[in-house]
Chain A
Amino acid sequence: DSGVTQTPKHLITATGQRVTLRCSPRSGDLSVYWYQQSLDQGLQFLIQYYNGEERAKGNILERFSAQQFPDLHSELNLSSLELGDSALYFCASQGRDRTTGELFFGEGSRLTVL
């Protein structure tokens, strides 16, 4: 158990819909990352937050948005869903030990768009 909690674990929805994925980082970790992993693809970086502020943006579509709240949990919003958005979405929190910066991953949210 990494200490990072993601909900829901599985989600099935239709094209054009909107979903929200939720992540609670490990206790004490300030930094949250979101990654997308499609079938047979590597981890694609979407966005990073640090203590409530956006820190870095990757290849995140305009239809996607995210935020980190004062209690440090984060939400990833995916709208106008397309078939190609079907993927595993991972959240990771970064350890406060800045000598390594190890990432601790949640179990992921598997999104299926039909």
Chain B
Amino acid sequence: GQNIDQPTEMTATEGAIVQINCTYQTSGFNGLFWYQQHAGEAPTFLSYNVLDGLEEKGRFSSFLSRSKGYSYLLLKELQMKDSASYLCAVRDDRGSTLGRLYFGRGTQLTVWP
């Protein structure tokens, strides 16, 4: 099965940097996603990693280590609007679950002024 762990809550101040970690265990790993979800809204795609290393996209970066089953999402120059839940999701390509994404419970980030 899949086991995806991420912290439940984090807080940071405006302008700071925060790192949200995610660890996973899965048999048919074929990519890791980060999604942002504001309360009551749909999750929106932030980043995708399938190879080891860092992917940078503006203020957001995501890192993957497949051997360690570990990823992190780095948010720089935090803004109030970054207060949201951040979901780590792993793609599993085994058999009948081809391409299915498994989600962690999300990390609720609160940014203070």
Contacts and interface: CB of A to CB of B under 8 A. Distances in A.
Interface string A89-102: 01000100011111
Contacts of A100: 31, 48, 50
A35 B50 CA distance: 24
A33 B100 CA distance: 9
B99 A98 contact: yes
12 contacts: A33-B101, A35-B103, A42-B103, A42-B105, A55-B96, A55-B97, A56-B96, A100-B31, A101-B99, A102-B33, A102-B48, A108-B41
Q: How large is the interface on A (under 10, 10 to 19, 20 to 34, 35 or more residues)?
A: 20 to 34
Given A56-B97, A108-B42, 6 more contacts: A42-B103, A42-B105, A43-B87, A101-B91, A103-B33, A108-B41
A31 B48 contact: no
B3 interface: no
Nearest to A42: B105
Interface in B48-96: 48, 50, 87, 89, 91, 96
Interface in B1-55: 30-31, 33, 40-45, 48, 50
A35 B103 CA distance: 10
A59 interface: no
> Which of A55, A101, A105 counts the most B-chain CB atoms under 10 A from its CB?
A101
